[in-house]
Amino acid sequence: MGRLDGKTVVVTGASSGIGLAIAKLLGAEGGNIVLNGRQRENMDAAAKEIEAAGGKAVVQPGDVTEEKVVIGLVDTAVETFGALDVMVNNAGYNPFDPVINGGVYAKWKETLDVNVLALALGCREAVRVMQGKGGHIVNITSVAARSAEPDDPMYAASKHAAGALTESLRLALEGKNIRMTAIMPGAVATNLVRSMPEEQLFALGRMLGVDPEEAGIKPGEHLPQEMLDRVATMGKAFVMSPEDIAQAVLFAVTMPESAHVNEIMMRPSQPLQMPGMNLPA
Ligand code: NDP
């Protein structure tokens, strides 16, 4: 018997990294999972894995910065499985942009659209169907919700906003049987770094012992599995795994009724240092 048997969960950003790990773990615990991201491949594989273990999963690709996509995710959960119990607003983008000195406006906009507005939409839509029934909304923010990031100010601004939204809605929903949890991770080995400037991304690859050209590292695209595997084996103390964060989500959503986990902040055992780059810590 799983800890989420019969519960329905929507996970945004489930095609990669933390969201993919959350979808798999909550699916393995018996949850009916609706997976959203833009690239289908990993989600189809995860859905197969969940179904092979006796669970249920629906893959619904789409861009969460489009209002109708987020509305559609929640409607699909209710139409397919009868209710929405857990909404995980996880999709995120890191611009690695300095704002000053050549900062790119389009990247700032994408950051706020994905990390703040899509998350707010996810909350609004989840509450629409949870009202009167209860439920749990989990927002993946970041340690950057609590720190200033001189190399990445718009990311920090977006995560502060996401944190403020989560806490404000938690208060607004108090006593209504809808819980809100903010999970604030530090460095996790995922594809988030794909939007780093090429020079930094390649330097990260080299630091991990991966030749950027041979391995086929391409800025903006999912990283070669070899690079993520290297982080997992070489950098364990410096970088958490997506599965670590998934465990925190499972913990929050399976607490007894008497306890409401508002926030979880988690960091790697040792801070990650990268020459020439201040990373969120
Ligand atoms: P990944 O890049 O591995 O995953 C990000 C996910 O978000 C992908 O599934 C991606 O989809 C999806 N996504 C991005 N933009 C959109 C969009 N417009 N519409 C739909 N899906 C979208 O990074 P992480 O797993 O690391 O990131 C997950 C969350 O964790 C983010 O909110 C991030 O800010 C947060 N976080 C990450 C940390 C880290 O060190 N990695 C630390 C703290 C917080 P696709 O790939 O299909 O385009």
Q: What is the pLDDT of residues 5-41, one digit of tens each?
A: 999 999 999 999 999 999 999 999 999 999 999 999 9
In a domain, 279, yes or no: no
16 in Cβ contact with 190 (< 8 Å): yes
* Domain identity same for 182 and 201: no
Q: Are residues 247 and 140 in the same domain?
A: yes
In a domain, 46, yes or no: yes
**Pocket-testing residue among 71, 93, 155, ligand 1, by greatest number of atoms within 8 A of Cβ:** 93
| Same domain, residue pair 125 and 173 | yes
Residue 162: inside a domain, yes or no?
yes
Q: Please report the atom of ligand 1 found closest to the CA of residue 185.
A: 43
CA distance 174 to 117: 22
The catalytically annotated residue of 155, 192, 205, 263 is 155
Task: Look up 93 and say whether it is catalytic.
Answer: no
- Whether residue 148 is contained in a domain is answered as yes
Domain of 145, CATH number, reads 3.40.50.720
If asked whether residues 207 and 125 sit together in one domain, one would say no
Q: Does 165 share its domain with 204?
A: no
**Does 121 map to a domain?**
yes
* Ligand 1 pocket check for 18: Cβ under 6 Å: yes
Q: Atom 17 in ligand 1: which residue has the minimum CA distance? A: 63
Q: Is the CB of 189 under 6 A from ligand 1?
A: no
Please give the residue range of the domain that contains residue 70: 8-188+240-266
Same domain, 131 and 213: no
Residues 127 and 52 in one domain: yes
Q: Is 87 in the pocket of ligand 1 (CB under 6 A)?
A: no
Q: Residue 252 corresponds to which tokens in the numbers above?
A: 């929050």
pLDDT tens readout for residues 252-267: 999 999 999 999 999 9
Residues 116 and 230 in one domain: no
Same domain, 27 and 53: yes
Q: Say if residue 160 is in the same domain as residue 198.
A: no
Query: How many domains does the structure of the chain reveal?
Result: 2
- Residues 169, 209: one domain? no
134 and 226 inside one domain: no
Q: Does residue 75 sit within a domain?
A: yes
What are the contacts of 78-83 at 24+ separation with CB within 8 A?
Answer: 78/8, 78/129, 80/8, 80/32, 80/34, 81/8, 81/32, 81/34, 81/56, 82/8, 83/8, 83/129, 83/133
- Give the pLDDT score at 274: 63
* Per-residue model confidence as pLDDT tens digits over 32-80: 999 999 999 999 999 999 999 889 999 999 999 999 999 999 999 999 9
Taking alpha carbons only, the member of 23, 57, 15 closest to residue 39 is 15
Q: Is the CB of 156 under 6 A from ligand 1?
A: no
Is residue 272 included in any domain, yes or no?
Answer: no
The answer to the question of residue 38 being in a domain is yes
Q: Is the CB of 81 under 6 A from ligand 1?
A: no
For the stretch 177-235, pLDDT in tens is 999 999 999 999 999 999 999 999 999 889 888 999 999 999 999 999 888 888 877 77
